[in-house]
Amino acid sequence: MISVLRLGHRPLRDRRITTHVALVARAFGADRMLITEDDKNVFESVKDVVDRWGGDFGIEYVKDWKGYIKTWAGTTVHLTMYGLPVDENISEIRDAGNDILVVVGAEKVPGDVFRYADYNISVGNQPHSEVSALAIFLDRFFKGKELKKEFGGKMEIIPSKNSKMVRHLNEKRRF
Amino acid sequence: MISVLRLGHRPLRDRRITTHVALVARAFGADRMLITEDDKNVFESVKDVVDRWGGDFGIEYVKDWKGYIKTWAGTTVHLTMYGLPVDENISEIRDAGNDILVVVGAEKVPGDVFRYADYNISVGNQPHSEVSALAIFLDRFFKGKELKKEFGGKMEIIPSKNSKMVRHLNEKRRF
């Protein structure tokens, strides 16, 4: 199981980025998202996507994130531009077979996180985004197979060359 | 050369996401970003990163995005969850050897874009983020090698197991 813990979320300012982090977590094969602020807006956006597009991705509020990381029984991976290269460490992380807690910060992350984490992992060493860092980490972890994951939702896209095609699975047929 | 055109940017609401899109474009090997709003805040954030972290990534304002796409001489790739799978189309796009315009939208994208683009390409068919879609597209395009790109900036990270190590290349030595 893979959980994603989002640190440093500030309501209003980080709402849209945190929602994108959560949607990436879900779309790229993680099982749930934990956020450190009880931000209704984020919860509702994510639940709405799960309701329409399927899967059993969960989102939960965690008050004591330090305690959460410290007592995590599996592997904790902190994604940071200062860490060791993802491509040189992903096999070891995957092969350990533990439950994984992926920690992604907002702009400022308390220094403690670097010490608490089992792995500090970078996706390149240039500034970009926690959204892209998480996507690439999960993509490497699942070796690209996550893009074909079936979610069994009410809505399903039929990939198309030049239009929007959506199958509504619960739609009543009109005879 | 790869340019990234961001459509539908609304100042304030999309500022941080657009900045993340720009930073991903730069960090994952694109050459420049084009935005359809003259949003100073985004321009300054991106220029500040280029100034400190290096490279010659540019950011420009484009008023007439339709005209821009229509008259683009190379290949235009629109990233959309409704498109054809990136993994089945990336070789063809790469092997054509043309300059590439990657179009990424905000929440609503005018239907025209689907017709103007040479390729409508999806990174999975689940909702996630233009930030992650762009990262994965460029990662596939450059076969993961973009994560090792050297930028030659004033600041450079020394990847570390558990701390933040930065080399300041223009720093005066104190003897």
Residue A86 CA to its chain's centroid (Å): 16
pTM over 0.80: yes
Average pLDDT over residues A112-126: 96
Which residue among A27, A115, A125 places its CB closest to the CB of B126? A27
In chain B, count H helices and then E strands: 6, 8
Average pLDDT over residues B20-24: 98
Give residue B140's pLDDT.
Answer: 98
Q: Is the pLDDT of residue B80 over 70?
A: yes
Contact at 8 Å (CB) between A94 and A87? no
Contact at 8 Å (CB) between B138 and B84? no
Residue B96 is part of which domain span? 2-149
Q: Is the pLDDT of residue B132 over 60?
A: yes
Contact at 8 Å (CB) between A53 and A151? yes
Tell me, yes or no, whether B156 lies in a domain.
no
Sign of CA dihedral B143, B147, B150, B151: positive
Residue A49 to residue B134, Cβ atoms within 8 A: no
For the domain that residue B114 is a member of, what is the CATH number? 3.40.1280.10
Tell me, yes or no, whether A31 lies in a domain.
yes
Which residue among A86, A120, A131 places its CB closest to the CB of B20? A131
Q: Is B139 on the interface with A (CB under 8 A)?
A: yes
The rounded mean pLDDT for chain B is: 94
Tell me, yes or no, whether B160 lies in a domain.
no
Average pLDDT over residues B52-66: 96
Chain B residues lying within 8 Å of A139, measured CB to CB:
136, 139
Q: What are the residues facing A34 on neighbouring strands? A: A5, A60
| DSSP state string for B113-124 | HHHH-SEEEESS
Chain A residues lying within 8 Å of B131, measured CB to CB:
20, 129, 131-132, 135
For chain A, give the percent of residues with pLDDT over 90: 89
Residue A83 to residue B159, Cβ atoms within 8 A: yes
Residue B147 to residue A85, Cβ atoms within 8 A: yes
pLDDT tens across A137-164, in order?
999 999 999 999 999 999 999 999 999 9
Tell me, yes or no, whether B161 lies in a domain.
no
Sign of CA dihedral A18, A21, A26, A31: negative
Tell me, yes or no, whether B163 lies in a domain.
no
Indicate the number of domains in chain B.
1
The rounded mean pLDDT for chain A is: 94
Tell me, yes or no, whether B71 lies in a domain.
yes
Nearest CA in chain B to A158: B82
Does ipTM surpass 0.85 in this model?
A: yes
Tell me, yes or no, whether B61 lies in a domain.
yes
Q: Is the pLDDT of residue A174 over 70?
A: no
Window 75-134 of A: residues touching B by CB (8 A cutoff) are 80-87, 111, 114-115, 117, 120, 122-129, 131-132, 134
Residue B135 to residue A136, Cβ atoms within 8 A: yes
Window 38-77 of B: residues touching A by CB (8 A cutoff) are 49, 53
Closest of A2, A73, A64, A76 to residue A35, by C-alpha: A64
Tell me, yes or no, whether A56 lies in a domain.
yes
Residue B131 to residue A136, Cβ atoms within 8 A: no
